[in-house]
Amino acid sequence: MHSKTVVITGGNSGVAKATAIALAGAGARTVITARSGSRGRDALADIRRASGSDLVDLVVFDLADLASVRQGAAVLLDRYDEIHVLVNNAGLVLSERTETADGFESTFGINHLGPFLLTQLLIDRLISSAPARVVNVASTAHRSARHGVGFDDLQSCSGYKGMQVYGRSKLANILFTTELAGRLAGTGVTANSLHPGTVATGFARDGDASGFLALGMRVIKPFTLSPEEGARTSVHLASAPEVAEVTGEYFVRCKTKTPSAAARDEAAAAHLWSVSEELVAEATSAG
Q: Does the protein bind ligand NAP through residue 89 (CB under 6 A)?
A: yes
Work out which of 1, 7, 8, 15 binds ligand NAP, going by CB under 6 A: 15
Residue 144 exposed, middle or buried by CB count within 10 Å (0-12, 13-18, 19+): middle
CB of 229 to ligand NAP, least distance (A): 11
Query: Which amino acid does the sequence have at 176?
Result: F
- Establish if 167 lies at the interface with ligand NAP (CB under 6 A): no
Residue nearest to ligand NAP (CB): 14
- Binding residues among 121-150 for ligand NAP as defined by CB under 6 A: 137, 139
Distance set, CA 61 to CA 52, 144, 226 (Å): 25, 30, 26
Q: Does 13 bind ligand NAP (CB under 6 A)?
A: yes
Q: Which stretch binds ligand NAP (CB under 6 A): 7-15, 116-124, 157-165, 253-261?
A: 7-15
Instruction: Looking at residues 172 to 231 of the shown chain, list those that interact with ligand NAP (rule: CB under 6 A).
Output: 195-196, 198-199, 201-203
Largest CA distance in the chain: 49
Residues designated as active site: 166
Q: Is the peptide bond before 131 cis (omega within 30 degrees of 0)?
A: yes
DSSP-assigned letter for residue 156: -
Q: What are the start-end ranges of the E strands in the chain? A: 5-9, 29-34, 56-60, 85-88, 132-137, 189-195, 250-252, 255-256
Tell me if residue 273 falls in helix, strand or coil.
Answer: helix
Binding-residue total with ligand NAP (CB under 6 A): 27
Residue 63 lies near ligand NAP (rule: CB under 6 A): yes
CB closer to ligand NAP out of 6 and 129: 6
- What residue ranges bind ligand NAP (CB under 6 A)? 10, 12-16, 34-36, 39, 62-64, 89-92, 110, 137, 139, 195-196, 198-199, 201-203
